[in-house]
Amino acid sequence: MDAIDLAIIGGTGVYRLASLEDTQAIEGETPYGAPSGPVRVGRLAGRRVAFLARHGEGHSLPPHRVNYRANLWQLESLGAQRVLAINTVGGITERFGPRVLALPDQLIDYTWGRTSSFWDGEGGELLHVDFGDPYTPSLRQAVREAAAKSAIELVDGGCYGATQGPRLETRAEIARMRRDGCDLVGMTGMPEAGLARELGLDYACLAVVANWAAGCGDDAEITLADVLANVDAASAGLPALLDALLA
């Protein structure tokens, strides 16, 4: 099978890559069950690119029901070595207001009850992967350079806090996350990043800030309509950024 130059996992509000051409939909089960939907493999900027909608193309899967293992396994078995994850998030600290695109360099995992490893005891294998830098520095650098080349503003760095959802957080939970050092809050960053590391994939997170987290910024009520409008606006630069990343 031909290698895939880049796999993209789309988050809330990013269900298709319009610029992907000659696409083929690849369906099928993995040893870990079914992925969130078909992997669409096609050409983008002359390169072979795979796209998978994390929540399903009709957004039918909440964050705690996504089969993260099947998704990453499927991408890897199709020949992907680099995964760019797009994650919709809330902003906690000042630099991360709505409509910002961010490239976090750290994360804290607050999720619970999710299957978080490929090595669950079957086969007797025990794997403690290094995870000091949860996002692959070389891929982060490539994204940073692509953003600069395509004049897309990107906030570089920051800590992503992964919460369980699907409800949003309380003000006290966000205040605690701020004290912990989180800049961003989202529900899908883990176990995805850890599983990618277990498979040896390069993995980076492009976080799309949809709203201020509870008690932050203007402290407005968070509505789905605002979230989607902000994701749409912030994602407008994505095609140019992807072109530059693949060039």
Contact between 211 and ligand HPA (CB under 6 A)?
yes
Residue type, 67: N
Residue listed under structure tokens 């007797």:
124
Q: Which is nearer to ligand HPA, 111 or 150 (CB)?
A: 111
Q: Which is nearer to ligand HPA, 42 or 165 (CB)?
A: 165
For residue 50, give the 3-state DSSP assignment.
Answer: strand
Tokens describing residue 162: 């992964």
Contacting residue, 9, 44, 89, 195, with ligand HPA by CB under 6 A: 89
Pairing of strands 82-91, 202-212: parallel
Contact between 159 and ligand HPA (CB under 6 A)?
no
Contact between 108 and ligand HPA (CB under 6 A)?
no
Cα distance between residue 14 and residue 238, in whole Å: 10
Contact between 49 and ligand HPA (CB under 6 A)?
no
Contact between 136 and ligand HPA (CB under 6 A)?
no
Tokens describing residue 58: 């009709």
Q: Which is nearer to ligand HPA, 185 or 196 (CB)?
A: 185
Contact between 185 and ligand HPA (CB under 6 A)?
yes
| Rounded least distance, CB 5 to ligand HPA, Å | 28
Contact between 210 and ligand HPA (CB under 6 A)?
yes
Residue type, 23: T
Contacting residue, 169, 183, 192, 202, with ligand HPA by CB under 6 A: 169
Cα distance between residue 112 and residue 186, in whole Å: 14
Contact between 213 and ligand HPA (CB under 6 A)?
yes
Element (H, E) at 247: none
Contact between 187 and ligand HPA (CB under 6 A)?
yes
Cβ atoms within 10 Å of 180's Cβ, excluding its own: 12
Residue listed under structure tokens 């069950």:
33
Question: Which of 41-49, 86-94, 103-111, 233-241 is the region at the interface with ligand HPA (rule: CB under 6 A)?
Answer: 86-94
Cα distance between residue 179 and residue 160, in whole Å: 13
Question: Which of 16-24, 106-114, 127-135, 161-169 is the region at the interface with ligand HPA (rule: CB under 6 A)?
Answer: 161-169
Contacting residue, 71, 88, 111, 136, with ligand HPA by CB under 6 A: 88
Q: Which is nearer to ligand HPA, 40 or 55 (CB)?
A: 55
Cα distance between residue 33 and residue 9, in whole Å: 18
Contact between 163 and ligand HPA (CB under 6 A)?
yes
Element (H, E) at 77: helix 68-77
Sign of torsion over alpha carbons 173, 176, 177, 183 = positive
| Rounded least distance, CB 181 to ligand HPA, Å | 16
